[in-house]
Amino acid sequence: MKQTVKIPELLSPAGSPVKLRFALNYGADAVYAAGKHFGMRAAANNFTDQEFAEAVRYAHAKGKKVYAAVNIMPHDDEYVHLEKYLESLGRANVDALICADLGTISLAREMLPDIPIHVSTQASVTNARAAEAYLRLGCRRVILARELTLSEIKELRRRCSRELELEVFVHGSMCVAYSGRCLLSNYLTGRDANRGECAQPCRWNYRVRYLEFEEQKRPGMFIPAEENEFGTFVLSSRDLCMIRHIPELCEAGIDSLKIEGRMKSEYYAAVTANAYRIALDSYAASPENYVFDERLWGEVESVSHREYSTGFFFGPPQEDANVCSTLDYIRDKAYLAVAQSRDIAPPEKLQHEAATKGLTLYRFVQSNKFKLGDTVSILTPGKTGRAFVAELLYDAEGNPIDSTPHPLMEFWLGVPFEVKEGDILRG
């Protein structure tokens, strides 16, 4: 008898309208985004009121959802502006509001009673009593603190009403503080981390005078602080990645799997959504026969990231919690271009030349330079990358070129298989 399991929603970051489209087209069931104010990523491009409304229409046309992050900790003098912002989100018809502050939750319930409230991870919900308290306040979902283990999440799910949805972060940057409650940025730069302005001092390079820390009341317990040529990194946590553990996440009764990264690129949004979508669909098709596809590990390795870990899911991280070598991001592949509509056809002469080599010409818009002879690959929604050698390359007017040096230039590339609009070229 075939095993039936509930497959969680896949929720991706959308730091801009472009990133929203990539995330949804590459497999996300929903995205979370913020306006120009009141979100925890003030440095992201974010959305104007009009862009929010357009994003919701775009998502709903695909049967997908948009959640609005309103998760800073506002001060009293900001509530007049917050009311106006909530009114605009109501007009945009967003599918949920992500809130951390009790005052914001109360105001949202009064003003927009028909829009579900999702309690932000900033609220640090770690137990069933707290989760149920938010349910009684009218909240639909709780985004659990990142500091819970998988066994604790299972127990919390068992204790909570099924009316309350549970969401967890499964991929992306981890904060060294408790679910983002950090004052380092305030202390060192005057920028408030709980108001979307974190300067990320946990990622800075520090120098120390001694090789180990010893706390006064814990003699004999030494914390290594070794330096290399870049400095020391006692505060910089590894990135979270749970793609190898889809069965455990599904069996825990989680309702939504969240990918962090509104500050990351559209390439990151697409690749992470695609990899987790493939893994979830593969598990859903045959839970009892599911085997992790190692190519998906290559996919998540291809985006900009720090060293990966499983965070707190299997117990408190110890020695592997920090990046020990460098603060530089790891990235196996470069985002080169995105395929355009086939409404414009290449000159017939070029089409014929490509056909003699078993290729078809497709039009792209450049993001990074590559050259003839490079091994590149195409990423299509629902598939892992397919590699080939770039051997036929023309500019937009049909002139032969040997590289793509100019930002956002349009070009024609010969590809040995079908390419669709929105497919990603990478190297």
User: How confident is the model over 346-392, as pLDDT tens digits?
Assistant: 999 999 999 999 999 999 999 999 999 999 999 999 999 999 999 99
Residue closest to 30 by CA, chosen among 46, 45, 14, 51: 14
d(CA 425, CA 427): 7
What is the torsion angle, in degrees rounded to the nearest 10, for the CA atoms of residue 212, residue 310, residue 64 and residue 284?
180
More confident residue, 33 or 176: 33
Kindly give the pairing relationship between strand 256-259 and strand 117-119: unpaired
DSSP states of 235-270 as a string? S-BPEEE-GGGHHHHHHTT-SEEEE--TTS-HHHHH
User: How confident is the model over 40-71, as pLDDT tens digits?
Assistant: 555 456 899 999 999 999 999 999 999 999 99
Kindly give the pairing relationship between strand 256-259 and strand 393-395: unpaired
Q: Is residue 192's pLDDT more than 90?
A: no
pLDDT band at 195 (very low <50, low <70, confident <90, very high): low
Residue 315 is predicted with a pLDDT of: 87
d(CA 202, CA 136): 36
- 20 touches 273 (CB < 8 A): no
Q: Is residue 161's pLDDT more than 60?
A: yes
Residue 293 is predicted with a pLDDT of: 98
More confident residue, 330 or 1: 330
User: How confident is the model over 93-103, as pLDDT tens digits?
Assistant: 999 999 999 99
Give the predicted TM-score (pTM) of the model.
Answer: 0.88
d(CA 59, CA 14): 12
Kindly list the domain boundaries of the chain, sorted by start residue. 9-174+237-321, 335-426
What is the torsion angle, in degrees rounded to the nearest 10, for the CA atoms of residue 166, residue 169, residue 171 and residue 174?
-170
pLDDT band at 36 (very low <50, low <70, confident <90, very high): confident
More confident residue, 197 or 293: 293
User: How far, CA to CA in Å, does 273 sit from each of 52, 260, 261, 411?
Assistant: 21, 11, 11, 27
- Cβ–Cβ contacts within 10 Å for residue 56, how many? 23
Strand order of the β-sheet with 375-379 is: 386-389, 375-379, 424-426, 335-339, 360-366, 410-415, 393-395
Residue 196 is predicted with a pLDDT of: 64
d(CA 55, CA 151): 36
Across-strand partners of 28? none
Average pLDDT over residues 406-426: 97
Q: Is residue 343's pLDDT more than 80?
A: yes
d(CA 193, CA 206): 20
At residue 315, the 3 state secondary structure works out as coil
Q: Is residue 112's pLDDT more than 80?
A: yes
User: How far, CA to CA in Å, does 312 sit from each of 11, 122, 163, 258, 392?
Assistant: 20, 16, 26, 15, 48
d(CA 104, CA 77): 13
Residue 244 is predicted with a pLDDT of: 98
Q: Does domain 335-426 have CATH number 2.40.30.10?
A: yes
Across-strand partners of 395? 411
Q: Which architecture characterizes domain 9-174+237-321 according to CATH?
A: Alpha-Beta Barrel (3.20)
Longest Cα separation, the chain: 79
Tokens for 178? Answer: 């408790």
